[in-house]
Structure 1
Amino acid sequence: MTSVYDFSARDIDGNERPLAEWRGRTLLIVNVASKCGFTPQYEGLEALWREHRDRGVTVLGFPCDQFGHQEPGDEAEIRSFCSTRYDVSFPMFAKIEVNGEVAHPLYKWLKHEGKGILGSEAIKWNFTKFLIGPDGQVRKRYAPTDTPAKIARDLPAS
């Protein structure tokens, strides 16, 4: 059986990182963008990360420029924006594609395992979120409009 731990991705600093690094933790995987109407969710994602990381929760951000050219910068620009504007400290990755033939393998798997409304696999917009259980399996998919505060209710209590 495939799990999130079978994948790796290049982080925002260019290092390949196996997701097995977070084995046993609850993950919230989000495709993010710097110039999106949902960009202020970075604040909520960072708050969720800071509040829940000691309870085994990790937020992972995957910049994507497939929706309205809302992530035009390179990794250095993205890192600078996230750091200076939202004080992001959760792990960030290099820009990827989430839809189409060259979608990152992680996202191909996430979309298959956590289908959206009416069984759709496509990511519709930035800030689509996937909650992954400590077993590495998709527990829930959230729409871009679902705020980090709403998602916090689905996180482990201890």
Structure 2
Amino acid sequence: MMPSRRKLLAAAVLTLAMTAANAGSQPAERVAVFASASAAQLAASQQGKPFVLVVWSLDCVYCKRNFDTIGKLRAQHPNLRVVTLATDNPDALPQVQQLLQRVRLTRNAWVFGHEPQERLRYAVDPDWMGEMPRTYFYRADGQRQGVSGVISDADWDKHLRWAGIAG
């Protein structure tokens, strides 16, 4: 069965975008470009292990609070897997990389591509209306919970336990 032309085109665009984003950078500093077809790839990149997906934007003041908390959580849980997805467009890649370096979250980083924001948000979660910060807790079996807004310490603990990340 031949893949659809649309899927082939999406894969080609993603490959080109990732190659361009990775040119001249070290592996730990790559930021992949997120297309609507990338949602499954993002989850699969964690190889069936529980992780946290943090959706954020450069202009989101509250998102920076999440990064501060994640820094503290990673000190308590060194194996905490964090994936970031910036909703800024690829033109903001230098600023996205700079902020991610500052908060030490340069691995498993993504930035929205040039498709319409609504399509990209829908690919992440059909029920998500764009409020931020948005955090998803993924279990090893692929189940997930999405939370909008700043998360309290007690709620972080509760969601991490649910995902199987913390005991």
TM-score bracket, shorter-length normalisation: 0.5 to 0.7
In the alignment, what sits opposite 2:140? 134
Cα displacement (A) at 1:79: 0.7
In the alignment, what sits opposite 2:55? 31
In the alignment, what sits opposite 2:73? 48
Q: Which runs of 5+ in 1 are unaligned?
A: 1-7, 66-70, 113-120
TM-score normalised according to structure 1 size: 0.62
In the alignment, what sits opposite 2:24? none
Structure with the largest fraction of helix: 2
Q: Does 1:79 align with 2:90?
A: no
Larger Rg: 2
| Deviation beyond 6 Å, 4+ runs, structure 1 | none
Distance change (3 Å), C-alpha of 1:143 and 1:27: same
In the alignment, what sits opposite 1:118? none
SS at match of 1:40: helix
SS at match of 1:122: coil
Q: Conserved in 1, the CA contact under 8 Å of 2:58 and 2:96?
A: yes
Amino acid at match of 2:44: A
Alignment equivalent of 1:19, drawn from 43, 64, 73: 43
Q: Which runs of 5+ in 2 are unaligned?
A: 1-10, 19-29
Alignment equivalent of 2:148, drawn from 108, 131, 143: 143
Cα displacement (A) at 1:20: 2.1
Distance change (3 Å), C-alpha of 1:129 and 1:95: same
TM-score normalised according to structure 2 size: 0.60
| Separation in 1, partners of 2:43, 2:128 | 22
Cα displacement (A) at 1:87: 3.1
Cα displacement (A) at 1:61: 0.7
When structure 1 is superposed on structure 2, of 73-82 and 24-33 the one drifting more is: 73-82
Q: Conserved in 2, the CA contact under 8 Å of 1:34 and 1:78?
A: yes
| Separation in 2, partners of 1:98, 1:131 | 25
SS at match of 1:153: helix
Q: Conserved in 2, the CA contact under 8 Å of 1:127 and 1:144?
A: yes
Q: Does 1:59 align with 2:82?
A: yes
| Separation in 1, partners of 2:151, 2:104 | 21
SS at match of 1:94: strand
Amino acid at match of 2:139: G
